[in-house]
Amino acid sequence: MNRKKKYLYIFLIIVALVFFGYYRDFVFKKINALMQAWDHDMDYTMPPSMRFLENYEYATLENIKWLLTVMFTLIYLAISLFAIKVIFNTRTYRNITIGAFIGVTVASGILILLGLIFHSASYKMYEFARYLMGMVQSPIALMVLIPAFIIAEREKPEGLN
């Protein structure tokens, strides 16, 4: 891949990360604000583009948040895989990226299950699981993986590619 094309792709990756980061934050904050208003029996008006959510039940909004979590995780996985392909073009690094996303998601799921089993720790487990999932729904995964792969590239013995 020529240098200009590579830098264009990197620029587009950065734009996508910023856009989806902002959009994810916006959507989740608005849904959480609506749910919190309902918890406290208060009125809350959603932005026009999200008003349709006011018609759903509380449990449905919780399910929508789960669906959005999966959706944004997959979006960030796709962006991350594309970034790794553009920067390194190594199948091994793409597989490691997939493994990292799966690992964090499974760890988060285990924490949620433990919280369901041990009710006294439920809130803490859920909060930590949310924190972990936030890492794979943000540029943080790439901020860890890219330097790790750069170090791995530098540490490769001569003759191995």
For residue 81, the model assigns a pLDDT of 98
Confidence of residue 161 (pLDDT cuts 50, 70, 90): low
CB 34 within 8 Å of CB 57: no
- Is 160 part of any domain? no
Task: Summarize the confidence of residues 88-103 as an average pLDDT.
Answer: 97
Residue 78: what are its φ and ψ, rounded to 5°?
-60, -45
Determine, yes or no, domain membership for 108: yes
In this structure, the chain runs to a length of: 161
What digits encode the pLDDT tens for the residues 39-50? 999 999 999 999
Instruction: Please check the confidence at residue 160 and state whether its pLDDT lies above 80.
Output: no
Percent of the chain residues past pLDDT 90, beyond the cut: 89
Question: Is residue 69 assigned to a domain?
Answer: yes
Alpha carbons 131 and 134: distance in angstroms, whole number:
5
What is the DSSP secondary-structure string of the chain?
--HHHHHHHHHHHHHHHHHHHHHHHHHHHHHHHHHHHHHTT---PPPGGGGGGGGS-HHHHHHHHHHHHHHHHHHHHHHHHHHHHHHT--HHHHHHHHHHHHHHHHHHHHHHHHHHHSGGGHHHHHHHHHHHHHHTTSTHHHHHHHHHHHHHHHHSPTT--
Q: Please give the tally of structural domains in the chain.
A: 1
Residue 88 lies in a domain: yes
- For residue 83, is it within any domain? yes
Structural domain contains residue 147: yes
The domain of 13 spans: 3-155
pLDDT digits (tens, 9 = 90+) for 116-157: 898 888 888 989 999 999 999 999 999 999 999 999 999 877
